[in-house]
Amino acid sequence: MKRPNIIFIVADDLGFADLGCYGGRDAAFGKVSPVLDQLAANGLKFSDGYANSPVCSPTRFGLMTARYQYRLRGAAEEPINSKARTSTTLGLPTTHPTLPSLLKEQGYRTALIGKWHLGYPPAFGPLRSGYDEFFGPMAGGVDYFTHCASTGAHDLWVGEEEQPHEGYLTDLISNKSVDYVKRMAQNTTQPFFLSMHYTAPHWPWETREDHALAQSIKDNIFHLQGGNIHTYHRMIHHMDEGIGWVVNALRETGQLDNTLIVFTSDNGGERFSDNWPLVGGKMDLTEGGIRVPWIAHWPEGIAKPGSTTAQHCMTMDWSATLVDVGGGKAHPDYPFDGVSLKPLLSNPDATFARPLYWRMNHRGQRALRSGDWKYLRVDGNDYLFNVVADARERANLAKQEPDRLEAMRSEWERWHSTMPPIPEDATISLGFSVKDMPQR
Ligand SMILES: [Ca+2]
């Protein structure tokens, strides 16, 4: 079979149940995510897929390297903040093999359209880490209209040149991606790999119609005084609509059948998100912070379209999968921690055991998902949950199953001992606290 084109779409802070196909409610205007729901209906949906981290940049390190992000200093920042703009240490080292660089070695043309959040040029940048082309912001969050980061600095780039553009960022990302797909169709001898990293539905809470709002919040785009679920639903819908434009462009250019589209979120949902039935959200290692939608669509490559699999996986497994699908493999000096899910695409029943580990400096959190079970530590308290029976993590079985708890704790500590320690100077940045809004 001809190697597929690959489009990897990452939403920003989208929660587990924000999409209709993951149990999300309809908005006042109707379906929130009809395009993604359709991709899931014709593709493969994962019920137990995770992000490498409950916060942005650490997950993106895992995504780019197919390895546990804890191996890299920049990934210890939770997340990389505006101080990184001049840093020569807080970013993805340019010598490190990456998902796009490994695909590029296999003859893929590569582009990132959307958010980078892995350090600034000249020390770092998408063009120095395997992408041929880049359009988007480099910071963790920007305004949808002014394209300014939380510092107030303009942050929209074409390659390594900062360039102002008019428009709503979600639509700019969608339209640039449509252009790219059409451009790539002019030469089909080489497949392409397109990363579409939306900033939606991350703050500030702006729909396509909220241009005027941008001026009033420019001094604080965390937007703690604004937003509501109606705006939030619209923001997701704008992204969904744009993904529809890209799907149409693929169809019109005859590329849809042999393009693997993967959709996910970089971490669990934030304040307006629906993470039901999970508890917690962004920054938490409870399921709401890390369990995210995973949808794969590939007419020529997915054997049983419309299936749902309970295969456990995390972001870096998909990086390994995409390199595998593209005919590549890990660099011998940088073996993957991620495991390829390619066999599942041709047989969704071919599930396999996949223990997954996390740690966070924030609140001293640790987690291990192994089979039906999860070991969790938060603020010095150890918990044990059967997350198949109780995905909401309210029925703590630590006292009932002390041997299982101890075995999982030891297993987590064994894994932890194989990773570099959390650096003393690693920082934690929270956008808001209990002073801004009551916590659960
Ligand atoms: Ca995020």
Ion ligand 1 — residues with CB < 5 Å = 12-13, 56, 266-267
**What whole-number distance in Å separates Cα of residue 50 and Cα of residue 205?**
25
Q: How far is the CA of 110 from the centre of ligand 1 (A)?
A: 22
Dist. CA 228 → ligand 1 center (Å):
18
Q: What is the pLDDT of residue 1?
A: 61
Query: What separation in Å is there between the alpha carbon of 291 and the centre of ligand 1?
Result: 13
Pick from 130, 111, 238, 106: nearest CA to 183: 111
Ligand 1 centroid distance, CA of 209 (Å): 23
- What is the predicted pLDDT for the residue at 178? 98
Backbone phi, psi, residue 158, to 5°: -120, 115
Domains of the chain by start residue, with CATH: 5-355 (3.40.720.10), 362-417 (3.30.1120.10)
User: How many angstroms does the Cα of residue 290 sit away from the middle of ligand 1?
Assistant: 11
CA of 300 from ligand 1 middle (Å) equals 31
Return the pLDDT at 77.
Answer: 96
pLDDT for 385 equals: 98
198: CA distance to ligand 1 center in Å? 10
Query: What is the CA(2)–ligand 1 centre distance, in A?
Result: 34
Task: State pLDDT tens for residues 385-403.
Answer: 999 999 999 999 999 999 9
Q: One-letter amino acid identity for 172?
A: L
Which run of H or of E encompasses 102?
helix 99-105
Residue 34 Cα to ligand 1 midpoint, Å, equals 22
Q: What is the mean pLDDT of residues 24-31?
A: 96
What six digits make up the tokens of 37? 């729901």
Instruction: Please give the distance, rounded to the nearest whole angstrom, from the Cα atom of residue 104 to the centre of ligand 1.
Output: 26
Sheet holding 365-370, edge to edge: 356-360, 365-370, 373-378, 381-386
Instruction: Please spell the DSSP secondary structure of 2-23, one letter per residue.
Output: PPPEEEEEEESS--TTSSGGGT
Rounded CA gap, 97 and 184, in Å? 24
What digits encode the pLDDT tens for the residues 217-234?
A: 988 899 999 999 999 999
pLDDT of residue 85: 85
Confidence of residue 82 (pLDDT cuts 50, 70, 90): confident
CA 8, CA 114: separation in Å to the nearest integer? 11
- 56-65 and 315-325 helices cross at what angle (nearest 10)? 30
CB 143 within 8 A of CB 204: yes
